[in-house]
């Protein structure tokens, strides 16, 4: 393996919420561990690996130039996005005007929603739901209508298309948020599933905001199908949002982008984004993406996915052996989503008490209730394998 995914990276004192934020946001961040235990950061969705070296190289190269004035997005930026989408997702027909900078995926989400819905309107989402969607939409005054995902007989999360259709019609909903791959459930949707979902949205005349920020984090050979590719209608009605931040662990450098083929959708979203002037790019964010979407970035990602697939398998095999804990094996992302309701009932323990058992011994997993399912925990395994194995040891000895 060319890149280092085994060394323990010291993150304390480096502005890392994952380790220095423990105890700082009650109800969101885990508590610090008890004396004698170090932190194994397994909560917020960032990785504990050094990113690909070309990112730092691109930033340093630009930072050596002593002027940081007004700038414009370079041809290299747009070419890097087009090349990445071609090589990773098989999409080769993206015109330059369809690509636009977004100051984070949630910023793009809110611009798109505001362009086609008013505060007080209902927005359709699947549940369990990424907490960022919930906080952003509710903070802006929108109402969320949840269509629950369901586990089938094989333990695979599935959309309920009839339920989606019923809710859209009942509440006259015309904006839906689609998460692909799904966070927190880890589903990498198959083509037929996306086709069926988009047909439901077509029948109900819904603009679809498709969050595809996890589209590069694919486990065990799964393949991402971009929402816009399943039909001409899907291409026309979808605002797709991407970013290098989950892929390369650069959320602190802030920078995402949209792909919007339809000129009417694009005009409305960009007009909405322009109102607050929040959406101006940072020159280093541009160079971050260019540094990430390189040939070396492609090789680094392929090695990362092998590491993450192994880590997910290790933790899944352990947790699925714990009586009373239920979980689906994720196909994408590096997060596992645990239903601990049976375990909690059998042991007379609340989910908060169970979470605290882990926090006390340094297993800094995340309260999953905020994602919309009771008695649940979300868990990040994007760490060196030795730390994943140590977390399993502590869970066996002290928690379950």
- DSSP letter, residue 365: -
**Looking at residue 325, what is its pLDDT?**
98
**Looking at residue 341, what is its pLDDT?**
97
**Looking at residue 27, what is its pLDDT?**
87
Q: Please provide residue 207's backbone torsions phi and psi, each rounded to the nearest 5 degrees.
A: -75, 135
Rounded Cα distance between 271 and 111, Å, is: 9
Q: Tell me the sheet residues that pair with 125.
A: 146
Question: Cβ distance 126 to 182 under 8 Å?
Answer: yes
Question: Cβ distance 178 to 210 under 8 Å?
Answer: yes
Rounded Cα distance between 282 and 270, Å, is: 17
Rounded Cα distance between 295 and 131, Å, is: 33
Calculate mean pLDDT across residues 195-221. Answer: 98
Output the six-digit token pair for 36. Answer: 């004698």
Calculate mean pLDDT across residues 364-386. Answer: 97
What long-range pairs does 4-11 form, CB within 8 A, spacing at least 24? Answer: 4/49, 4/50, 5/49, 5/303, 5/304, 5/307, 5/384, 5/385, 6/384, 6/385, 6/386, 7/50, 7/384, 8/384, 8/386, 8/387, 9/48, 9/49, 9/50, 11/41, 11/48
**Looking at residue 71, what is its pLDDT?**
96
Please determine, for residue 61, whether its predicted confidence score (pLDDT) is greater than 90. Answer: yes
Calculate mean pLDDT across residues 182-196. Answer: 98
pTM: 0.96
- CATH number belonging to domain 17-51+297-399: 3.90.1150.10
**Looking at residue 277, what is its pLDDT?**
83
**Looking at residue 149, what is its pLDDT?**
98
Q: How many helices (H) and strands (E) does the chain have?
A: 15, 14
**Looking at residue 278, what is its pLDDT?**
82
Calculate mean pLDDT across residues 244-273. Answer: 97
Calculate mean pLDDT across residues 142-157. Answer: 97
**Looking at residue 372, what is its pLDDT?**
92
Token pair 């927190």 in the structure block, residue: 184
Mean pLDDT for all residues in the chain = 97
Please determine, for residue 298, whether its predicted confidence score (pLDDT) is greater than 90. Answer: yes
Calculate mean pLDDT across residues 25-33. Answer: 94
Calculate mean pLDDT across residues 112-140. Answer: 97
Calculate mean pLDDT across residues 314-335. Answer: 98
Output the six-digit token pair for 290. Answer: 């260019």
- CATH 3.90.1150.10 domain position(s) in the chain: 17-51+297-399
Please determine, for residue 279, whether its predicted confidence score (pLDDT) is greater than 90. Answer: no
High-pLDDT (> 90) share of the chain, %: 98
**Looking at residue 36, what is its pLDDT?**
97
**Looking at residue 346, what is its pLDDT?**
97
Calculate mean pLDDT across residues 27-32. Answer: 94
Please determine, for residue 379, whether its predicted confidence score (pLDDT) is greater than 90. Answer: yes
**Looking at residue 93, what is its pLDDT?**
87
**Looking at residue 276, what is its pLDDT?**
85
| Domain at 55-293, CATH class | alpha beta
Rounded Cα distance between 353 and 15, Å, is: 29
DSSP secondary structure letters along 203-267: HTT-EEEEE-TTTT-B-TT-----GGGS-HHHHHHEEEEE-SHHHHT-GGG--EEEE---HHHHH
**Looking at residue 70, what is its pLDDT?**
94
- CATH 3.40.640.10 domain position(s) in the chain: 55-293
Range with lowest mean pLDDT among 52-61, 94-103, 239-248, 276-285: 276-285
Count CB atoms within 10 A of the CB of residue 352.
12
């Amino acid at each position: 393996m060319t890149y280092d995914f085994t060394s323990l990276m010291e993150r304390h004192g480096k502005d890392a919420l994952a380790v220095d934020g423990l105890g700082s946001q009650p109800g969101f961040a885990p508590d610090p561990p008890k004396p004698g235990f170090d932190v194994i950061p397994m909560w917020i969705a960032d990785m504990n690996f050094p990113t690909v070296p070309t990112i730092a190289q691109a930033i340093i190269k630009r930072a050596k130039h002593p002027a940081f004035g007004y700038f414009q997005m370079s041809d290299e930026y747009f070419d890097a996005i087009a090349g990445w989408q071609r090589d990773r997702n098989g999409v080769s027909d993206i015109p330059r005007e369809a690509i636009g900078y977004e100051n984070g995926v949630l910023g793009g989400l809110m611009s798109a929603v505001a362009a086609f819905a008013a505060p007080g309107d209902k927005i359709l989402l699947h549940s369990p739901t990424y907490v960022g969607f919930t906080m952003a939409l509710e903070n802006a005054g929108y109402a969320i209508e949840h269509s629950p995902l369901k586990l089938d007989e094989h333990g695979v999360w599935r959309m309920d298309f009839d339920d989606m259709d019923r809710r859209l019609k009942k509440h006259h909903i015309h904006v839906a948020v689609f998460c692909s791959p799904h966070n927190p459930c880890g589903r990498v949707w198959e083509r037929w599933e996306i086709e069926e979902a988009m047909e439901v949205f077509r029948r109900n005349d819904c603009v679809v905001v498709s969050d595809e920020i996890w589209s590069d984090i694919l486990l065990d050979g799964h393949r991402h199908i971009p929402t816009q590719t399943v039909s001409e209608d899907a291409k026309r009605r979808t605002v797709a949002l991407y970013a290098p931040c989950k892929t390369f662990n650069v959320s602190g450098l802030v920078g995402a982008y949209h792909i919007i083929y339809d000129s009417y959708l694009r005009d409305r979203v960009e007009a909405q984004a322009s109102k607050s002037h929040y959406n101006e790019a940072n020159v280093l964010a541009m160079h971050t993406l260019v540094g990430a979407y390189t040939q070396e970035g492609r090789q680094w990602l392929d090695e990362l996915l092998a590491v993450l697939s192994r880590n997910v398998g290790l933790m899944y095999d352990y947790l699925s052996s714990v009586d009373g804990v239920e979980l689906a094996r994720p196909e994408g992302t590096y997060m596992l989503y645990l239903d601990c309701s049976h375990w909690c009932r059998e042991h007379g323990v609340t989910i908060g008490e169970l979470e605290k058992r882990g926090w006390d011994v340094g297993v800094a997993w995340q309260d999953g209730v905020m994602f919309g399912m009771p008695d649940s925990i979300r868990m990040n395994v994007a760490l060196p394998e030795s730390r994943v194995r140590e977390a399993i040891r502590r869970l066996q000895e002290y928690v379950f």
